[in-house]
Amino acid sequence: MDAQLARSLKIAWINWERALLYGRKVAPSSGVASAMDGILVRITTNAYAKSGAYLTEDFVLQMLQDSWAAGGSIDTLALGAFQKRQANKFLDSQRMTTRTDRIAGSVIDTYTSDFGTCDIVLDRNMPTDTVLGIEKSRIGFGPLTDHALRAAPVETSTGTKKAMQILGQYTSETRNENAHGKITGLATS
């Protein structure tokens, strides 16, 4: 039972992360559960559609500058695997190796510009064509009052069968949406 609950909780957290990114607000009604807006839906001011272009440093700098001009300070960039590989290429033109170098590759985990320093986070739940820039102090996520994540027995449990359900209601908050940014429509191959 403990192993099954642990797996179910892990799946619940993955679903909440996806809802935090992609969610679309749904009002509860009979037979329909409520749902929250995700961060990507809420960001409309500093949103850049790139129509299949490859991610460049200039795209990131523009997003950081526009956020800064609106009073924000993006401190985290979340990217999927392909966009992370593109960001790792930002320094390729300045990289030098010698014939004796036996290690190759590049990883950029932090990006620094005139508009601040950003942690670069590889996130498997990010859309493949998107880079999300957030100011963490302006993003909130947590349980509704008295609705934190928990496991509870189901009434159909008997002496020979024990059934459990995972319960919890969470919500998110995006303060000053123009302090954040997103780059969408990037090349994915």
The one-letter code for the residue type at 33 is A
Cα separation of 134 and 117, whole Å?
12
Banded model confidence at residue 170, pLDDT cuts 50, 70, 90: confident
Task: List pLDDT tens digits, range 138-151.
Answer: 998 888 888 888 88
Mean pLDDT for all residues in the chain: 89
What pLDDT is recorded for position 34? 76
Per-domain residue ranges of the chain: 2-92+105-184
- The single-letter DSSP state of residue 150 is E
List, for residues 94-129, the tens digit of each pLDDT value: 777 777 777 777 788 999 999 999 999 999 999 999
* 54 close to 72: Cβ distance less than 8 angstroms: no
Written as one letter, the residue type at 99 is: R
Q: Is the pTM of this model over 0.95?
A: no
Which has more pLDDT, 48 or 169? 48
The number of residues in the chain equals 189
